[in-house]
Amino acid sequence: MSVSLQARNTLGLPCQAQRLYEVHTLTELQEALGRCKGPTLLLSGGSNVVLPERWEGTVLVPALRGIRAREEADAVWIDAAAGEPWADLVRWTLDQGWAGLENLSDIPGWVGAAPLQNIGAYGVELADVLVEVQTIDRRDGRLRRWSRQDCAFAYRDSVFKSGEPDTQVVLGLTLCLPRRSALRLDYGDIRSELERMQVESIDARAVAQAVSRLRARKLPDPAKLGNVGSFFKNPQISLAQAQALEQQEPGLVSYPSPQGRKLAAAWLIDRCGLRGQGNGKVACHQDQALVLVNLGGATAADVLSWARHVQDCVRQRFAVDLEIEPRIYG
């Protein structure tokens, strides 16, 4: 007997698995790990994965729930379980009057997946507020605690994604929100959106609303059009390479980065004339070229075929490699 995962991934790709365990407590998780033999796919909200048509093994869904907070004079400490929807956690903190997560509003997926790729948006990353990740090691069942330094966070990367992939099951996170955290308004169109909203007093709620409005305009709703948000990372190149590209391509969109400059992948794809274009099953979204959308009936092969075409076009024109952001299984 097989289990369909089509409703469990936001791309809406058809995928059949041999068996699925959805667990809601640590005890259930430990028991399920003991039953998992052979390939095991860890699946949270399914918002950052490309699944094959068939998974020859077990799917494990750690749906642990719960949020606790501890207030101190200068900060608020929050413990959130892996199965909590990230967007709900952000809204909850705002309802309590706590700032710090507003730029990360409306990011899909669950808390447990957040540290894997160090989720980020509008100039803020999880690493900015994370204190600790709690996991259980699939290899020996040991409970572990990972400090922010242990996590080896980088741009859309962490030890859980590229260092020790699939060995740890995230149980929850501990975050710290300073009482005096400054609002981050200088990334993207936040300031202009706040002006459009005619906000008299800018606070965390206003910033969250601006971010939500921006995301709603730029990113399609996965419930209506299957997608995983940004499909490619923004490439980072040397300052010399960026300067050469600026001579070749007036208007090149880039930002400072540790490597030199970070390019806007959406701009590169758009410049190649691919916005709104596709292969009949998959396309670059007409409003945001960085988002690949399932036009209906697409499989993983269709998604990856179009993704390779996009990569080839960008490489040929700009001599820049685009790296796929979601996890590819197969």
Which active-site residues does the annotation give?
156, 230, 325
Beta strands of 93-218 (E only): which ranges?
Answer: 120-121, 124-125, 130-137, 143-147, 168-178
| CA dist., res. 293 & res. 222, Å (int) | 9
Residues pairing with 61 in the sheet: 22
| CA dist., res. 117 & res. 132, Å (int) | 15
Question: What's the distance, CA 218 to chain centroid?
Answer: 16
Which among 88, 84, 81, 116 has a CA at the least distance from the CA of 104?
88
Which among 109, 105, 119, 120 has a CA at the least distance from the CA of 84?
109
Output the 3-class SS for 300-318: HHHHHHHHHHHHHHHHHHH
Structure tokens at 273: 């004339």
Task: Give the count of alpha carbons within 13 A of 214, CB side only.
Answer: 23
Question: What's the distance, CA 97 to chain centroid?
Answer: 25
Question: What's the distance, CA 328 to chain centroid?
Answer: 14
Cβ atoms within 10 Å of 30's Cβ, excluding its own:
14
Task: Give the count of alpha carbons within 13 A of 261, CB side only.
Answer: 17
